[in-house]
Amino acid sequence: MKFHIVILLLFVLGVLRASGADKLSKNFYKQRCRQAETLVRDITWGRAQNDSRLGAKLLRVHYHDCFVRGCDASILLDTVGTNAAAEKDARPNLSLLGYEVIDEIKSQLEKVCPGVVSCSDILALAARDAVSFPFKKEMWDVLTGRRDGRTSLSSEVTGNIPGASSNFTTLKDLFAKKGLNVNDLVALSGAHTIGVAHCGPFSRRLYNFTGKGDTDPSLDETYAASLKSQCPNPASAAITVEMDPQSSESFDNDYFTTVKQNKGLFQSDAALITDRAAAKIVDSLLKPKSFFSEFGKSMKNMGAVEVLTGSAGEIRKNCRIVNALFSVLSSTNEILEKVSVKVPGEETYAKEDYTISLGKKLMLKLLYTIYYFTIGVAHCCGPFSRRLYNFTGKGDTNPSLDESYAASLKSQCPNPASVAITVEMDPQSSESFDTDYFTRVKQNKGLFQSDAALITDRAATKIVDLLLIKKSIIYILRLMFSSIIFPIYVMYGPQPY
Ligand SMILES: *[C@@H]1O[C@H](CO)[C@@H](O)[C@H](O)[C@H]1NC(C)=O
Ligand SMILES: *[C@@H]1O[C@H](CO)[C@@H](O)[C@H](O)[C@H]1NC(C)=O
Ligand SMILES: *[C@@H]1O[C@H](CO)[C@@H](O)[C@H](O)[C@H]1NC(C)=O
Ligand SMILES: *[C@@H]1O[C@H](CO)[C@@H](O)[C@H](O)[C@H]1NC(C)=O
């Protein structure tokens, strides 16, 4: 019986491991966008010619993408407006680079095959091509057919991505969570054969390993001395050192030699020879041919982690923002091109005025605010739970909230609030960019106090009324970029929740 369970388990695990890769295929874009892979390669090689570190940069971005929410290009999304911080802002010191190359490829691909090639596939291909540039051939196969996610949260980074000081158990566990085994762990660590690192992540190893001003005894002494001379204590963010001394620009298996010589830069490198099975794999990768083939296999495994395929996710039009926001943004840009903004009782604002004075970031922030209001984004009960159950501390409900709406909210959100429950902000008109939000605010059905606050001010109420009459996105946009509504958003705009 036990034997059967083991067999069954092995079978299930085998299937699970293969499932991601099974959903992807070789040359997925052959019919849909014939030139896709060539175009990615040409642009990447063009950039790699000038930037010898591009391979290291894009490999890192791809790896960070796959380990958080799978390879869905979530790492490429920018933090926008009041939305929670995106993955790429998780740790400022991560210093992931190379995003602009992906942007360039995407904008070229959108010209020839609009809406076809996903950002996640571009990233997987470009990482391969950048590393492959010096060899003038593809160093591993990249399967394609990934689709892009719509969510990116900095809070999901910790706990998914191994740190520089992770021990072997942690490394193994984090890889296992992604369906990757010890072979993959060791082979992919070989990526440290290229690139540079800031001193911070290994500074403790040099100067204060156990808190007694000591150096990690597992680090080769002369190497430690050389690292100390490059990286004074405390670590400066301005200094970088080569990960694989002498050959940090060439993609080779030197990394494993240095790890064997106790010259792995991070604790997570040294950790590979603290486990017998892993140390054996390190030995096997001392042969260059084995390294290239094993690295390729493991890249294929990693590239298939939790991929979105079929109708899941979307094909982003711009790798930095989700499509819903992109369409609002591009219609805004179009409108801004054509319309000179005239607000009743106000001056006419030339296009340059708001683009310069507000700037693109602010524009995005404002748009995202409205996007959040009008499109039914779900929110957990916490932020308005007091309004329902204990408004003035006497177990009362906020009297400014419509009674039947309050009752309906109470039935959805029991007290105390559970983070697991969410309600939609605009249940009747999800997915449509409209002015229903303002109707609801007028009916005392704004979800948050900050929504209800809009009609506690006379000037703001007048604008809400205007927005009710002119049910037009153009009108909102005109107002948004005028000086009237902007201060209102600054004063009453939603706080990050
Ligand atoms: C390479 O870099 C030089 C100097 O920064 C620049 O002038 C040139 O346009 C770059 N070439 C490419 C292909 O990016
Ligand atoms: C590895 O690190 C984790 C997390 O820091 C720790 O809980 C665990 O005890 C360590 N394992 C070993 C074998 O040192
Ligand atoms: C991150 O960067 C900041 C500022 O550059 C620095 O003070 C801090 O020590 C760095 N942290 C690590 C872990 O490198
Ligand atoms: C070394 O670490 C200990 C404990 O974390 C700390 O109290 C001490 O200040 C550190 N010393 C230096 C020189 O950073």
Displacement of CA 472 from its chain's centroid (Å): 33
Helices first, then strands: H and E counts in the chain: 22, 6
Q: Match 């000038």 to its residue by tokens.
A: 50
- Identify the pLDDT of residue 407: 93
169 within ligand 2 shell (Cβ under 6 A): yes
- Structure letter (DSSP) for residue 147: B
**Residue 22 in marked binding region:** no
Going by alpha carbons, the residue nearest to atom 6 of ligand 2 is 170
- Structure letter (DSSP) for residue 379: E
**Residue 154 in marked binding region:** no
| Residue of 195 and 290 predicted with greater confidence | 290
Which ligand 2 atom minimizes the distance to the CA of 167? Answer: 1
Taking Cα atoms as reference points, which of 47, 240, 74, 53 lies closest to residue 148? 74
Rounded alpha-carbon distances, angstroms, from residue 405 to 23, 178, 397, 411, 443: 44, 43, 11, 10, 10
Highest mean pLDDT among 47-56, 71-80, 120-129: 120-129
Q: Which residues line ligand 1 (CB under 6 A)?
A: 46, 49-50
238 within ligand 3 shell (Cβ under 6 A): no
**Residue 252 in marked binding region:** yes
Alpha carbon distance 180, 455 (integer Å): 54
**Residue 70 in marked binding region:** yes
Ligand 2 centroid, distance to 30 Cα (angstroms): 47
The per-residue pLDDT for range 130-189, each reduced to its tens digit, is: 999 999 999 999 999 999 999 888 889 888 999 889 999 999 999 999 999 999 999 999
Going by alpha carbons, the residue nearest to atom 4 of ligand 1 is 50
pLDDT (mean) for 241-257: 84
pLDDT (mean) for 1-11: 44
Which one of 4, 62, 64, 379 is the catalytic residue? 64
- Identify the pLDDT of residue 387: 92
Task: Evaluate if residue 13 carries a pLDDT over 70.
Answer: no
Q: Who's near 402: CB < 8 A, 6+ residues apart?
A: 443, 444, 445
What does the CA dihedral 444, 449, 454, 458 come to, rounded to 10 degrees? 90
Q: Which ligand sits closest to the CA of 174?
A: 2
Task: Evaluate if residue 61 carries a pLDDT over 90.
Answer: yes
165 within ligand 2 shell (Cβ under 6 A): no
The secondary element (H helix, E strand) that includes residue 94 is none
Ligand 2 centroid, distance to 173 Cα (angstroms): 11
**Residue 74 in marked binding region:** yes
The per-residue pLDDT for range 434-451, each reduced to its tens digit, is: 567 778 888 998 887 877
**17-26, 192-201, 376-385 — which is least confidently predicted?**
376-385
pLDDT (mean) for 410-425: 81
Ligand 3 centroid, distance to 148 Cα (angstroms): 31
Task: Evaluate if residue 75 carries a pLDDT over 90.
Answer: yes
Return the bridge partners of 490, or none.
none
Alpha carbon distance 186, 260 (integer Å): 13
Going by alpha carbons, the residue nearest to atom 9 of ligand 1 is 50
Ligand 2 centroid, distance to 167 Cα (angstroms): 6
Going by alpha carbons, the residue nearest to atom 9 of ligand 2 is 169
- Three-class SS of residue 308? strand
Alpha carbon distance 459, 120 (integer Å): 46
The per-residue pLDDT for range 389-403, each reduced to its tens digit, is: 999 999 999 999 999
Please answer whether residues 343 and 461 qualify as being in contact, where contact means their C-beta atoms are separated by less than 8 angstroms.
Answer: no
| Residue of 334 and 80 predicted with greater confidence | 80
Q: Which ligand sits closest to the CA of 206?
A: 4
Ligand 1 centroid, distance to 50 Cα (angstroms): 6
pLDDT (mean) for 226-240: 90
pTM of the model: 0.69
350 within ligand 3 shell (Cβ under 6 A): no
Residue 432 backbone class (left: φ over 0; alpha: ψ -120 to 50; beta: rest): beta
Ligand 4 centroid, distance to 238 Cα (angstroms): 22
208 within ligand 4 shell (Cβ under 6 A): yes
- Identify the pLDDT of residue 376: 47
Pocket test for ligand 1, best of 42, 47, 50, 100 (most atoms within 8 A of CB): 50
Please answer whether residues 57 and 100 qualify as being in contact, where contact means their C-beta atoms are separated by less than 8 angstroms.
Answer: no
Structure tokens given for 273: 């020879």
CB atoms within 10 A of CB 321: 20
Ligand 1 centroid, distance to 240 Cα (angstroms): 23
The secondary element (H helix, E strand) that includes residue 198 is strand 196-198
Alpha carbon distance 250, 491 (integer Å): 54
Whether 379 sits among the annotated catalytic residues: the reply is no
Displacement of CA 54 from its chain's centroid (Å): 19
- Structure letter (DSSP) for residue 424: E
Instruction: Report the sign of the C-alpha dihedral through residues 479, 482, 488, 489, in that order.
Output: positive
CB atoms within 10 A of CB 454: 21
The shares of helix, strand and coil residues in the chain, as percent rounded to the nearest 5, are 55, 5, 40
Please answer whether residues 294 and 183 qualify as being in contact, where contact means their C-beta atoms are separated by less than 8 angstroms.
Answer: yes
Which ligand 2 atom minimizes the distance to the CA of 168? Answer: 1
Q: Which ligand sits closest to the CA of 233?
A: 4
Q: Which ligand sits closest to the CA of 93?
A: 3
Instruction: Report the sign of the C-alpha dihedral through residues 147, 148, 153, 157, in that order.
Output: positive
Please answer whether residues 33 and 111 qualify as being in contact, where contact means their C-beta atoms are separated by less than 8 angstroms.
Answer: no
213 within ligand 4 shell (Cβ under 6 A): yes
